[in-house]
A and B are shown apart, each in its own frame.
Chain A
Amino acid sequence: MFKENLKIGLEIHCQLTNLNTKLFCNCLSNYRNSLPNDNTCPICLGLPGTLPLLNKRAVDFASMVCIALNCKIPEKISFYRKNYFYPDLPKNFQITQYNSYEISSIGYEGHFSIDDDSGAFTQMANSKPSKSQIRISRIQLEEDPGKIVYEDEKTSANTYSLIDYNRAGVALIEIVTEPDFSSSHDVRIFLNDLINIFEYLGVCDPSLEGSIRCDVNVSLRGGKKVEIKNISSFKDVEKSINYEVTRQRTMIMHDMEVQAETRHWDEKRKITISSRSKEEEEEYRYFPEPDIPVILLGGQSFVSSIRSQMHELPNERLQRYKEQMGLSTHTANILANSKKISDYFEESLKHYNSPIEISNWIVNELLSKINEMEKSDASKGVVIDLAAKMSPAMIANMAKLVSEKGLNRNMAREIFAKSFQSGEDPYYIVKSMNVEKISDSEEILSLITETLEIQPTLIDQSKTNPNVVNFILGLIMKKTRGRTNPQLAIKLIQDVLSSKKN
């Protein structure tokens, strides 16, 4: 394919849902369970005379995200007013941060690497797995507006709007990237990584509806930048980019000029639509918010204190899994890419410190079982909690049975399946099935002798065919329903055969 020079930049809005209160008042950050306008107060309704009271913890949370995305954190931060009218905006200005006149935002000049590995198929020519560096231009703290509800789905059919200010004033961080993405696939990887980081840091629950929103800007072959706003689901981000690329490509093919404009994503029709008046949007008349002092963060000591409060990050975990525990990249990735799974893994290790064995059980057995269940009709759309299905202690016992009691794989799988089904601890299942390994040399020797008496030809064959050892083991296993300790049996078979050779 010829070079299209596709450039994509992102503006991601993420609610700090794990805060207790809004950014500038003591109303609940969790507005989702409230009756309309019940989660409001004079401050977030912008009543005359009220002043914003900045939430310290919001600054801490935002700083964590900045550190995770390798942003610089300035000595001081300040807030600006972005002036525009809209009925969901109680003060008709939004308190935000703005870097045109000074560094006011909590983070700036960051960067984040994404793994292109899994996307190697898109770049056949140079199939070398690579990392892409995405520059983060800034991360800013700001307030969410309220919500407009339409009685009639068709917006224009309504003669009035209904406004719910419960969301107004909820703390948001806006992450702005440079246009460093060259494919919608990279965007998806980045967004997945980002969600993962939010979960690790415990600042935002991405599963809550509307907690993360994304604006995208796309330009092709050095052409004008088109912004796509209003994409509320991450799945649609990729779709909207693909749609926009196709649209622009078609325009260029027909010698039409791509206009710099703002387009809206139509969720239902899955297309982008041009939205009116660009020039008005540009006139935000930013100026420093006089009601919030400049906040002195405290420099390096502040950064290290935030750092010390931060949960281990996904890439740090991945590193540790690979380097200290010796897990394969594949396994380590699967674990670290989900905080839930890797927390489960960490918990299991507390019961039995055998990372490789346990990680294999989780990745190869537990997750595939869970996957099957989630795909089955009975539990469609239900997210199954790992720990509820099988506790970390149980999976640790599973691993322990295999590596300490010499349980064979097939038998172990059977026990695992039973345990998964019934919720019973594998340890007790083994007990009740009487499947503990036969590790007694005398008993195994008599089994070998018995076998060779039935098929004496095996002794001769063993002189030329090394596979005979395994064949005899197989016969013994069959007889003992797999309970024989294989390592010990092989050693004894070899001993017996070599004694017969002479």
Chain B
Amino acid sequence: MSNEIEVKKLCELSKLEIPDEMILETSNKIREVMSLFHKLDELDISSADDTDSYGGLRIEKSLDSLRGDVPRRSFSVTDSVAKLKLLNTRNGFVLGPRI
């Protein structure tokens, strides 16, 4: 399952670059972990209470517990955006790569 090609596809999906000389080692290690994951194949989940809930132990809260729609500068960032120390900016815009 996790042959080299698959690792390359995962890299693309995760925007990670693994150097060619590392691909084999990476896929071997990933394969080892995958075999650990396969233990779950033996688990019978038919007795699970809440199989339709995919969030695990999801916390439930009432709608009323949510914040009101009141404008406010969040956290202690009070004055200017300069405080956020954005990495590369030009005329207030964030400088990003070519699209």
Contacts and interface: CB of A to CB of B under 8 A. Distances in A.
Query: Which of A85, A149, A163 has the most chain B CB atoms closer than 10 A to its own CB?
Result: A163
A40 B92 CA distance: 12
Interface in B33-85: 52-55, 58-64, 66-75, 77, 80-81, 84
B1 interface: no
Given A283-B13, A295-B66, A41 B98 contact: no
Nearest to A76: B60
B98 A159 contact: yes
Contacts of B13: 280, 283, 285
B86 interface: yes
Interface in B1-39: 12-13, 15
B67 A47 contact: no
A56 interface: yes
A295 B65 CA distance: 9
Interface of A, helix, strand, loop or mixed by DSSP: loop
Main secondary structure of the interface of B (DSSP, over half): loop
B9 to A, nearest CB: 9
Given A21-B70, A295-B66, A41 B77 contact: yes
Given A41-B75, A45-B84, A293 B99 contact: no
Nearest to B91: A36
Contacts of B93: 36-37, 149, 162-164
A325 interface: no
A161 B69 contact: no
A260 interface: no
Contacts of A38: 80-81, 92
Contacts of B77: 41-42
Interface centre among B54, B63, B68 (most CB of A within 10 A): B63
A306 to B, nearest CB: 10
Interface in A277-295: 280, 283, 285, 287-288, 290, 293-295
A220 interface: no
A20 B69 CA distance: 6
B66 A55 contact: yes
B60 A162 contact: no
A158 interface: yes
B51 to A, nearest CB: 10
A165 B26 CA distance: 36
A25 B60 contact: no
Interface of A: 19-21, 25-28, 35-38, 40-43, 45, 47, 53-59, 76, 78, 85, 87, 101-102, 148-150, 155, 158-165, 280, 283, 285, 287-288, 290, 293-298, 302
